[in-house]
Amino acid sequence: MNTPPALPTLSEADREQFWPPLPFAAWQATAETLHLWTQIVGKVRLALTPWINHSWHVTLYLTARGLTTSPIPHGLHTFEIRFDFISHELRVLKSDGALRVLPLQAQSVATFYHAVMAALSELELPVRIDLTPNEITDPIPFARDETHRAYDPAQANRFWRVLLQSDRVLQKFRSRFCGKCSPVHFFWGSFDLAVTRFSGRAAPPHPGGIPHLPDTVTREAYAQEVSSVGFWPGSAASPTPLYYSYAYPEPPGFAEAQTQPAEASYYAPLHEFVLPYDAVRRAASPDDALLAFAQSVYDAASILGKWDRAALEEVRLKPPANLP
């Protein structure tokens, strides 16, 4: 097991390529359409995959070209759905070698939904999904949504590149923890990338109240104490892309905790710390800025929440990094 090579100093060209600007207003129409497309694909996984604690069975994952469901069981077969944000295709791959490729292009959510269902039917992978989008106010059923129909390939690719770097750094952060921890995964309901650490103790029932998400799902997701960090690209109501980190339940004194870097702040309405994406992308080392944010908020959550940090972060549980 070799130590990964050190990252080179970022040039401005590197920064533009790997940590590009992502102003929400510039790609709002594409973002809102893509959000709904990922929900359709995610609900296919939800319908067919055995339930895993905290809804880990529904998420998507970053790939070298986009996002994937990972393998989904269907009877004795397995299939996978991949968003490719380089070739701008949706690929449905079946374990018997069959394949369907759909173009990612400007088209309504309804058109996309019917095309995905037709492809699955042709592959003898029939599935029925709930047609109401989750975690969205005033949702339009997928099969009738002719409103959302934008797709800018360059903007979709830019979003994926931000997710890719965020995923890479959050994987580093995840590796520091030996307790129960989620994968770094993409939630299509909230349209964000996140990784969550667990204290190992039960949490009080979550109040719920997330739009178009059953409270039972939310309460199961937060049945144990957590500290979570992630990236969210923004929305029409709050158009600043940002990193966030929170604890549930929130321990006393959490809002007053000292966190890093200096641009991080506590956002009281959502009970979480936030760090603008632009503060990370413009930092001398975006990796260090994001890791400092994730670590400092986790420190506040775990110390104030009296987690058993020594047990959860016991590095002796891991093999040495210099294994052959």
The model's pTM: 0.95
Q: Are residues 179 and 139 in the same domain?
A: no
Q: How many structural domains comprise the chain?
A: 2
Q: Is the Cβ–Cβ distance between 281 and 15 less than 8 Å?
A: yes
Q: Are residues 128 and 160 in the same domain?
A: no
The answer to whether residue 6 sits within a structural domain is no
Picking from 144, 175, 191, the residue at the C-terminal end of a domain is 144
**In Å, how far from its chain's centre is CA 265?**
21
pLDDT at 2: 55
Cis peptide before 269 (omega within 30 of 0): no
CA distance 103 to 118: 14
Q: Are residues 216 and 266 in the same domain?
A: yes
- Residue 214: which H helix or E strand, with range? none
Q: Is the Cβ–Cβ distance between 149 and 106 less than 8 Å?
A: yes
The answer to whether residue 14 sits within a structural domain is no
The answer to whether residue 286 sits within a structural domain is yes
Q: Are residues 137 and 169 in the same domain?
A: no
Q: Are residues 159 and 140 in the same domain?
A: no
The answer to whether residue 1 sits within a structural domain is no
Q: Are residues 54 and 119 in the same domain?
A: yes
The answer to whether residue 16 sits within a structural domain is no
The answer to whether residue 95 sits within a structural domain is yes
CA distance 63 to 25: 26
CA distance 297 to 112: 39
**DSSP per residue over 113-181, as a string?**
HHHHHHHHHHTT-------SPSS-SS---GGG--S-----HHHHHHHHHHHHHHHHHHHHHHHT--SSB
The answer to whether residue 12 sits within a structural domain is no
Task: Give the pair of three-digit tokens for residue 43.
Answer: 């609900």
Picking from 144, 178, 196, the residue at the C-terminal end of a domain is 144
The answer to whether residue 252 sits within a structural domain is yes
Tens digit of pLDDT at every position of the chain (324 positions): 456 677 778 899 999 999 999 999 999 999 999 999 999 999 999 999 999 999 999 999 999 999 999 999 999 999 999 999 999 999 999 999 999 999 999 999 999 999 999 999 999 999 999 999 999 999 999 999 999 999 999 999 999 999 999 999 999 999 999 999 999 999 999 999 999 999 999 999 999 999 999 999 999 999 999 999 999 999 999 999 999 999 999 999 999 999 999 999 999 999 999 999 999 999 999 999 999 999 999 999 999 999 999 999 876 666 666 655
Q: Are residues 198 and 270 in the same domain?
A: yes
Q: Are residues 106 and 250 in the same domain?
A: no
pLDDT at 154: 98
Domain range for 167 is 153-312
Q: Are residues 101 and 78 in the same domain?
A: yes
Q: Are residues 264 and 164 in the same domain?
A: yes
Torsion of CA 10, 14, 18, 21, to 10 degrees: 100
CA distance 56 to 295: 23
Q: Are residues 95 and 242 in the same domain?
A: no
Residue 2 DSSP symbol: P
Picking from 102, 127, 144, the residue at the C-terminal end of a domain is 144
Question: At what angle are helices 24-48 and 109-122 packed, to 10 degrees?
Answer: 30
Q: Are residues 42 and 119 in the same domain?
A: yes
